[in-house]
Each structure stands twice: as C-alpha cells, then as structure tokens.
Amino acid sequence: MRSILLLGGLTIPAAVLCAAPALAQRAQDNVTTQSGDAFGRSVGNEKSGLYTSDDVRGFNPVDAGNVRIEGLYFDQVDKVSTRLIDGNTIRVGAATLRYPFPAPTGLVDYSLTQPRDRTSYSLQFDTGSTAAIGPGGSVEFKQPLDGERWGVSGGVGYRNWHRPEGGVGLIRTFGATVAFRPAPDTEVLLFGGDFLYRSDEAHPALFLAGSGGPPKLKRGEDLSQSWTGRDSDTWLWGGIAKVPLSGKWRLEVGLFDTRRTYHHIYADIATGVLPDGSASGHRIVADAGTSDASLSGEVRLVREWHTDTASQRLIASLRGRHRTKLFGGSRIFQFGPTDLNVPQVLPEPVYVIGPKNHDTVNQLTLGLSYSLVTGGGLTLDGSIAQSRYRKAVDFSDPALGDLRTRDDPTTWSLDLAQRIAPSVTVYAGIAHGQEEALIAPDIAVNRSEAPPAIHTRQVEAGVKLGLTAHLTLIAGAFQITKPYYNLDAGLRYRQLGTLRNRGIELSLTGQVVPGLTVVGGTLLLDPRISGEVVDAGQLGPRPVGQIRRRSVLNIDWRPDAGQSPWSFDLALESLSGRTGNALNTLSAPARTTFNLGARYRLHLGKSTFLLRPLLINVTNNYGWNVSTSGAWSYTQPRAFSMQVIADF
C-alpha cells in the first residue's frame, strides 16, 4: 500500500536537488513522515505516493532510462541492492523544478546509503513487508572513521519471499559504500553490491479468452513447476565524486557499472483462459545465459552565483552509456490444455539453449542547463541537449537481417514557476525527450527484442497552495505523447500507433496537528491510442493494463503531539477498472484495499528498538492486475507481518 507526504517550496535550493538524506538508523524510517510530495517515495521497505519506480503517469521511467543516483545519470538494468540504497524519490511535475535535465514521464532518483557523522548498527527481522510476506532480515552498519573524513556503510540481507501465487522465492542482498570527505564541500563515494534471486518458480501468467472475465482461482495455490526456478544476479559497482574547482565551479562525476545475468529463467503462459479456470493452451519458455549490462555515467561542471535579487546556476553535462545485451535462443514447450484450478505436475523436458542475439547501444549526450530564482518569486529552468545514439542488433539466425539504428536528437525542456501570492505558486513546463521503448514480453514471437529509442513530448501546468503553515495542496495537469508499442494479431511486438496520456494529479499533504499527518492524492488518467490499427478496429483506443483513476489516503497518528512511543497508521488505495485486453472488450474490476499498522518504540540506553505489526489487505479484497502485454494476475490476499528493528 502506498502513502504520500508534503512538497517543499517550489524554489528549491541546489543543496536539496537530490532525495532527502535518510536518517541514520532504520528504527526511525517512516515513509509517511519522510516523503516530500504525492508523486512517490521509498524509504527502506516502505513505498509511498501515486507512483513507483516502474509506473509514473502510465509509463515505466526505469525502462525508459530516466534514472539518477544522487542526481547523476544512471542506466539501470534491474533491481538495485537494498543494502546500497536508502530509498528513491519520483521526480515529476512540481518536483522537477530546479532539477537539471528533467525527462518526460518523470525521473527516479536514488539516494545512496552513506556513512555520516554517527556510528549506527541495525538489526532487522520481519515476517514480510508491504510488498512480500515471508521471513526476512538484515544487518546494516554505518561506521565513520577518522572523524568524518572516512566512513564505511553496508550490510547483508535475506528474504524467503512467500509469493501471493504460492511458492517461495529466495532473495539475498549485500553491498557496501566507502566514503571519503576530506573537506565539507568534497566527497568521494565508492560502492558495490548484488541483488540475488534463487528459486522463485514461474507462476502461470493468464491470457484470457474472449470477454468472459478471469476465473476466481484459489489464492496461494502453487501452480508452478518445481523445475522452473529463476537463478539471477544483478550487480552494481560505481563511484561518485563531487569536488570544488577554482572560480566557484564545482565538478560532479558519476560512473556506474551494472549487469544482470539470468543463469536460468522460465516463463509460464496459459492462453485461452475461461472463467471456469480451463485454458486451451499451456506453454513454458525456458531460457538461460541471457545478460543485460551497462556502463553509464555523467560528468558535470556546475557554476552557481548569487546576488541580492537572484540566484543562478549553470550546468554543463556530458553523459553516456554503453549497453550490451544477449537475448534469444530460448526453447518453448507446449503442454496443451490445462486446468488452473488444480496443480499440474509436468515432466521437465531435456533441452539445449540456442545461440544468442547481440544488442548493443552506444549513446553520448552533451547538455546545458540553466536555472534562475528571483527575489520576486520567479523560477526559470531550461535545458538543451544533443545526443548521438547508435543501436545494433546482430541476430544469430543468418536469415534475419541485422538491425542498425542511428539517431541524433536534440532534446530540451523549459519550466516556469511564479509565486503570485505568499502561499500560491503556479508552474508550467514543456519537455521533449528520447528514451528506450519497453522490450518485447514473454508471449511475443520476438521475445526480449528491444525496439529503437523513441521520441517523447510532455506539457504540464499546475498550482501549489499553502492552505496552512503545514498543509499543502498541489493540483496539476499533464499530457504526454509517445509511440505505442505492443503485440499485434500475430503476437509480434512492434509499434502500433501513438499513445497520448492526459491526466490530472491532486495532492493534499501535511500535518493537521502535531503528531497527525494526513496525506491524500488522486490521479485521473485519460490514456488513448491513435493510428491505423485503431481506425481499422484491430485495436481498441485504450492501452492494455492502464487504469483511469488511482486514489490514495494515508494517516499517521502519533499521540502526545508526536512524542508517544506509539504511533498508528492507515493506508488506503482505490483503483478504477483496468483495461483487460487489446480490443477493450474486457476490464479488470475496480478495487479498494487498505492496511492497518502500528509502531512501538523502546529506548534502552543508547539503543532503540521498534516493533511494527502490520495487517495487509484488511478486508481480503480479491482483485486483479493486468500487465501491458495483457497477462492477468490476482492481488495479494490478507496477510499479517511483524517487523522488529534494533538500532545500536
């Protein structure tokens, strides 16, 4: 379940361009009281806001390549070890003001776990989190050395993820960061870690027949095959340096090397699924030896200067990436009709993975960003960038022609904000960008193939109202257009038209009285496809998997004006129906779920202990998710977790 928090002033100083630094110890983590706006935030295991790192305004910013670490460009390929990251912030709408080089569809900005001026050791054990139920735990440390000049942070973690679909996935994480700060305005960070999956057998993805709707399967019934486990690693190594130069210039450098390797992975697909749970087809796709690796980074020269009437900043940036991918060679096994109401035991086939295709992307971008904040309440942000994009796909099958793509786009953005009253600010912006399209899904005949980069456009405007000193309303409207890729009638993943997402975002966030934080937000979305396939009736005008409304409400109450050792929280999420198939003849029903939780804090000497019980999906609502490829999966049933944290 999600929650949201208060947005700070629109004229954001340069010092807070990145996500707010996390607190030193895990017992103090509380995403409801630490979030900065309604657009999305994660702290530790908790997430908040209207958006997540894989869903912003109906799009996936990670797959689009719109990711930053400590504000610097990072080409993410998959999960980042939670031992390296304290959390992330979704930067969209008003949250992009004074943030250099914003992107259409928003940015995900990660904050690193770093050693600061205080030693801390945290032990954590829990039966799950809001995202997964099952025993888990971690050991984390933050250890300054030689005063504040040196420091080391990191840890190890595990989770035996009891999946909502039945079965167990094993997750292991570890990582460490070394920090060197010889002066207050200088820092060098070196870090590395791994996010490891084992087991996690493939559960059938349901592709429905006609418009009869999904079957009501027994949740938690394990329908996977014991031989379809996932075995993968995602490594991330990197370094960041921020140092002052002569003439009031500052140098900021980030270099990131990340790689995901699927040693073994399977996709389980049930097609022609009827409301009684029968399926006309059942196939399993086996793959191994696939990889996705990227070397990316950014170099910036930053110059800031201030007068009595204005503050200005100029950034010259060079960012780039070299990404290589091995895909293809998978084997498909057909098992015929099946019954999803009962587990089926299928024999493991003998197979050999075929040769791989090679996908290589090289991109270099040179950009300038300028920001102005005046004493009269005007904020002006502008950026322009020139890219050199080259993509090559070499197919192992000589009958397929190799793909070569060249693009040299000019991307730009312009944002304006004006304070028109002491507590009223209006803003507007426009951005033209380039990003990666999503790869072909498992059911596609060209599975895992990645289309060329696409061009995107976004316009938006909104207002921020300070209703009281501690309560803020943000209302914004946006429109995003980009090419629409999905499956055609032959299950080939290709461009089918143009997608336009038009929407309204509302956020009411703040502290009503000391100790009581209330956060509410709503997204009203109008996604629409246009093109020849829609005009011909081969495709409906609504994209598969999209909702029309998402609403969230969070309440965090800590008695005694915020001084009690107890606090209580409620998190509610309400979703409209979700488009269920390409012809728009089927929709997943609307649903509303809520969680109830509490925290109890106990201090013994210099140590802090936290007990956090949490009841998830209190009413045991049975709902459905639909992916952009049309695969249906049911939602998590009611579950209880207990988290125990000890900070020393």
In a domain, 4, yes or no: no
Residue 551 lies in a domain: yes
Do the domain assignments include residue 3? no
User: Residue 13's pLDDT is what?
Assistant: 33
Q: Is 21 within a domain?
A: yes
Task: Please report the sign of the dihedral spanned by the C-alpha atoms of residue 232, residue 152, residue 257, residue 493.
Answer: positive
Task: Say if CB 546 and CB 525 are below 8 A apart.
Answer: yes
121 in Cβ contact with 648 (< 8 Å): yes
The answer to whether the Cα torsion of 397, 399, 400, 401 is positive or negative is positive
| Gyration radius of the chain over CA positions | 24
Answer whether residue 7 is part of any domain: no
What would the two tokens of residue 382 be?
């502008």
Domain-embedded: residue 2: no
pLDDT at 133: 66
Does residue 317 lie in a domain region?
yes
- For residue 8, tell me if it sits in a domain: no
CA angle 217, 48, 24 (to 5 degrees): 125
pLDDT at 128: 62
71 is in which domain, residue-wise? 14-647
pLDDT at 12: 31
> Which is nearest to 84 in space by CA: 145, 175, 149, 162?
175
Nearest-angstrom CA–CA distance, 386 and 366: 5
What are all long-range contacts of 301-310, with beta carbons under 8 Å and residues at least 24 apart?
301/245, 301/249, 301/250, 301/251, 302/249, 302/250, 302/251, 302/252, 303/247, 303/248, 303/249, 303/250, 304/14, 304/248, 304/250, 305/248, 308/375, 309/374, 309/375, 309/376, 310/372, 310/373, 310/374, 310/375
Q: How far apart are CA 24 and CA 114, in angstroms?
A: 9
Amino acid at 39: F
CATH number of the domain residue 321 falls in: 2.40.170.20
The two tokens of residue 330 are: 């998978």
- pLDDT value at position 25? 67
**294 and 323 in contact (C-beta within 8 Å)?**
yes
CA distance 102 to 118: 34
What total number of domains does the chain contain?
1
* Long-range Cβ contacts of 342-345 (<8 Å, 24+ apart): 343/221, 343/222, 343/223, 344/223, 344/282, 345/225
Ranges of the chain with pLDDT below 50: 1-24, 130-131
